[in-house]
Each structure stands twice: as C-alpha cells, then as structure tokens.
Structure 1
Amino acid sequence: MAEQATAQSPTTASNYDAANLLKDEIDLINQLYEISVNFFANYSFQLIGAFIIFLVGYYIAGKVAKWVLFLCEKNKLDVTLSRFIANTTKMLMVVLITIIALGKIGVSVTPFIATIGALSLGAGLALQGLLSNYAAGFNIIMIRPFVVGDTITVQGVTGVVKEVLLAYTILSDEDGVQITIPNKHIVGEVLQNSQQDSLLELSVGISYDHNPVEVVKMLSPTISGLTVLSKDKKPQFGIDEFADSAIVLGIRLWVPTENLYAAKYQAYEEIYQALDNAKIKIPYPQTDVHLFKTEESI
C-alpha cells in the first residue's frame, strides 16, 4: 500500500500544478477583461471621437489636396509642381490630424517625435545618395529649369522631358527610348534647354559652276515650305563654306524633337528634288591634275 501511495504521489502533484496553472490563466484573463472593460468604460468616447476625427480629417485632407491641385492647374503651374504641392499639403494635414487624434485618447506624441527623429537621422546616413536625389528633385520642381515637354541635353543625353519626379527625371529620345536620369546628376551640371524643339543642321554642296546666291534664293521656298518645321523659329540657310570641290550651303532648322529624323529625311528629299529640277549639279570629291610640257634646256 505504501508503494502504491508513493507511485500515485507524482500524478497528484502534476494534477495540482496543472490546476494552479489553469487558475493563473483564468485570473489573467479576468484581469485583462476587467482592464478592457474599465478602459472602454473610461475611454470609449475618446476612442470613438479620435476615430471620427481621423476619418473626417483624412476626408478633408483629400478634398483640400484636390482643391490645391485645381488652383495650381488653373494658374498654369507645371504638372509636376502642382502634384507635389497637392501631395505635400495632404501629407502634412494627415500628420497633423493623427497627432490630434492621438492626443484625444491621451497618448503623448513626444516619444513618437523623438523616435521619428532618431530614425530619420539613421536613415539619412544610410540613404545619402537617395536623399540627395530627392533634394535635387525638390530643387528642380521649385526652380523649374525645365518643364514637361521641354527638350534638354544633360550629361551627354538629349531627350524630351516626360515626367519629373522627386528621385529622377524621365526623358524620351527621338527613337522613343525612355531614359531615366537621377536628379542629382542634373542639378549643378551644364543644362541645355531648347524648349520643345531641337536644332537640325544640314549641309549640301553645289558645283562652282553655279551662282550660290541664286541657288539660296531658289531653295528658299522649298525650305520654308517644309511641313515639319517649328512655327516659333524661322529656318536659317546660306553659304557655309567654300570647299575644295563644292560650295557648301548650310541649313539650320528647328523641328519638334520627336520628329527629328523624319524632318531630316524630308528636308534632304525636298532639297534634292529642287536642285534636280533646276539642273543644279551636286559635285563629288575630285582632284584635277594638270600636266605641263616643258622643254629641256640643252
């Protein structure tokens, strides 16, 4: 009998421990329940009020952002600048509304601000390159050295500006290739902005048998009548060089960047037809050798 009692004692102890553990869990659940009930009893109206404040404030922030965007577009501001101002306005309003809502339920925002400051410092050190792109993008948006639709040349790359973002600028060249340039490589560099057009420089040689002034006058209506020319800038053409085998005529045309090669092909075709119809010779490089016979002295 003693051995049986001894054998049962571990089981009894185990059951006792399980009962105590279950009791502790029940007590913990009861405490959490009481805390939850007391919290909602004391702060339910504050929670509901904070939630309503956040929802209404977020809705108002969206409406204000749309109104700001409308005003910017009405005053013909750049599309990128307009969107940036609208999004920044909405973000600031949401942050302010969140602080007000947290204060409504008694949450101090001071630790959050300190944490955000510390995280911002660490992120700033880790993301210097990215932040420099954002700073450069903000500079571009505010100063506006170029806008969407302009043709710019920077870092040896030429293209039409399709979109200006905070981190990078997107260009498109005459072949339709999309070019992405980080903004830090644009700010502080030499930037060429030809607005919406590109300069197309052509040359054609004519024989020395013809009067170049008369040929220029003859080509004037042909060049001015090209359909791909920019309407804002007039073409320039005249005698460019007296070369070895030809008189070179220079032609400068302003054309939309997207039609650069189409304009080049059309211009050369029209010029060739005009010269051919007028029987103007286009010489090829050649060298004339003259032999003189001299009498040998005796």
Structure 2
Amino acid sequence: MFGTDISMDLIIQYGLQAASALLILAIGAFLAKSAGQYTHRSLAKIEMDAPIRLLLVRVIKGIIFLFTLLVVLQQFGIQIFPLIAGLGVAGVGIGLALQGVFLNLFAGLSIIFTKPFRVGEFIDILGEHGEVQAIDIFTTKLLHLDRSIVVIPNRKIIGEILHNYGKIRQLDLTVGVAYATDLTQAQAAVRKIVSANPRVLQDPAPVIGIALLGDSSINLSVKPWVPIPDYVPAQAELYQTIVEEFRTAGIQIPFPQREILMLKAE
C-alpha cells in the first residue's frame, strides 16, 4: 500500500511536470510564431533584401524557442549551467563533424550581408548559370534556362570568380545579308524590328552594326537588351521577324557558296 502511494505521488508529480512542460512549449511556439510574423510585417515596411529579412525573422524565432527550452529544462529540475558547460566540451567534436555545415552557414551570412548578387539577378559561377531564385543560409538556388533548379552550397560560392549579369541580359544575334544589299536599308529594317518588340528594352539602347565580312555574306550584329525572363523568347521572336521582314523587303540572306573553275587540260 505504501509503495502504491509513492508510485501515485511520482506519477502525479512527473505528470504535472510533463503537462506544464508541454504547456510551456506550446506557449513558446505560439510566441515564437507571433513574434516572427510581427517582425516580418515590421521589416516589410523597411527597404531590405528578402534574405536578410528572413534571417532576422528566423533569429527572433530561434531565440524565443531556445529560451522556452531552457525554461522547460528547469521545470524538470535540470541545472542549466553545468549542461551548457558539458555542451561546450561536446561542441568541439560536433563542430568538427559539422564543419561543412558551418562553412555553408558563414558563407551564407557573408552572401546575405555583402550582396554580391540578389534574388532575380542572373549569375554565372562554377560553370553554372541561372537566375537567382533564393539565397538561403546554407545554399543558393538558381533557375536554369531549361527551368531546372541548380542548388549550390554557399561555401562553393565564396572566393570564386562570379559573373553577375544583373536583371537584364544582352542578346547576341547575327544575321547575314548578301554583299549587294543596301546596308542602310537592312540596318534600318532591323532597328525597326527591334524597336517594335515589346520584350526589348530601349534603355540601354540596342547595338546594331556590321560584325563580320564573311565569305558569302556581310554579317550584321544585333545586340538588344532584354529582361532575364524574356531572354529566350525574345531571341526566337526577333529572328523570325527579321526573316519575314527581309523576305518582304527583298533583302537576301545568302547561303555559303563556292565557285569552282574547271581548267581544260591541253
């Protein structure tokens, strides 16, 4: 009977502790979520990059949740300071095991605050290129031209040569015309086509001129600027319109030709 009373007392005691711990965790999670939402709304009113805003929100939520865990541990009678000291010793081994994770973390923070590129810009690095979709703490995600996602660990980015195209790119189109063509007429037709295309930016101004005197044609270089999402469709549209306009205007696009002289042996 005495043992039963002790068991009931222990069940009641630890049951109450477990219930209060769960209640504290629930309250902490609610406070962390509410604080994160409030922080996000407040920072949205300030001109700030999305990755930095996301980082600050996560830090606020993490601090509140960590404080909640400490309160829960104390609820079970666990001494916090000896535990912290023990974790400090164990942290050396854990740190060595998670070295790559920490390198990605520090690299991510460096990218977020130094801003070598931003979300929406087109970059080329490590043989990969694409539009920056997200800059997270550990990785950076690029959207490739074929709509696939390239995920790069942040530690691979720091210290590498980076080509940042920004949010616009310059098309590099080439169209050949016959040597007998009126070049002024041909270039005027190309300028009209480029100016009429809604995907093409007028500032910076398109670059149109003679690129090369080839064996069978005079090659015109057509280099307009377009927003990143319009890079591929604008190229297809411009080529098609140029071909149609040249056919209408009677401007010849020649194909490679060779003259063969037959010498009669005497």
TM-score (normalizing by structure 2)? 0.83
Distance 1:80 1:231, change over 3 A: farther
Instruction: State the shift of 1:111 in Å.
Output: 1.8
| Cα deviations by residue, 1:180-207 (Å, 9 ceiling, x for unpaired) | 1111122211112222233321101111
Counterpart residue identity of residue 151, structure 2? T
Instruction: State the shift of 1:56 in Å.
Output: 5.0
Match of 2:55 in 1: 84
Match of 1:13 in 2: none
Distance 1:233 1:56, change over 3 A: same
**SS of 1:188's equivalent?**
coil
Instruction: State the shift of 1:32 in Å.
Output: 5.5
| Cα deviations by residue, 1:99-142 (Å, 9 ceiling, x for unpaired) | 35655776431122123323332222112222212221121122
Is 1:164 the counterpart of 2:132? The answer is no
Alpha-carbon separation, structure 1, partners of 2:243 and 2:11 = 90
Counterpart residue identity of residue 199, structure 1? Q
Unaligned runs of 5+ residues in structure 1 are 1-25
Instruction: State the shift of 1:158 in Å.
Output: 1.4
**SS of 2:224's equivalent?**
strand
Match of 2:252 in 1: 281
Stretch deviating more after TM superposition (137-146 or 229-238)? 229-238
Counterpart residue identity of residue 92, structure 2? L
Contact 1:136 1:184 in 2 (8 A): yes
Alpha-carbon separation, structure 2, partners of 1:128 and 1:54 = 30
Contact 2:176 2:220 in 1 (8 A): yes
Matches within 5 A, 1:62-73: 62-73=33-44
Instruction: State the shift of 1:88 in Å.
Output: 0.7
Stretch deviating more after TM superposition (27-36 or 161-170)? 27-36
Counterpart residue identity of residue 170, structure 1? K
Is 1:263 the counterpart of 2:234? The answer is yes
Counterpart residue identity of residue 287, structure 1? R
**SS of 1:159's equivalent?**
strand
- How many residues end up aligned between the 2 structures? 264
Distance 1:113 1:201, change over 3 A: same
Instruction: State the shift of 1:36 in Å.
Output: 7.5
Distance 1:173 1:35, change over 3 A: closer
Contact 2:51 2:136 in 1 (8 A): yes
Alpha-carbon separation, structure 2, partners of 1:194 and 1:119 = 45
| Cα deviations by residue, 1:27-64 (Å, 9 ceiling, x for unpaired) | 65555566778x79xxx8x9999887766555443332
TM-score (normalizing by structure 1)? 0.75
Unaligned runs of 5+ residues in structure 2 are none
Identity of matched residues, %: 28
Matches within 5 A, 1:1-298: 30-31=5-6, 58-99=29-70, 102=73, 107-230=78-201, 232-288=203-259
| Cα deviations by residue, 1:204-240 (Å, 9 ceiling, x for unpaired) | 1111112323421232111111122246533211111
Distance 1:105 1:148, change over 3 A: same
Structure 1 vs Structure 2 CA RMSD: 3.2
Contact 2:212 2:219 in 1 (8 A): yes
Counterpart residue identity of residue 225, structure 2? W
**SS of 1:222's equivalent?**
helix
| Cα deviations by residue, 1:45-96 (Å, 9 ceiling, x for unpaired) | x999988776655544333222221122211322222111101111112223
Contact 1:172 1:178 in 2 (8 A): yes
Match of 1:6 in 2: none
Instruction: Give the number of the structure whose alpha-carbon radius of gyration is greater.
Output: 1
Counterpart residue identity of residue 49, structure 2? D
Alpha-carbon separation, structure 1, partners of 2:18 and 2:253 = 87
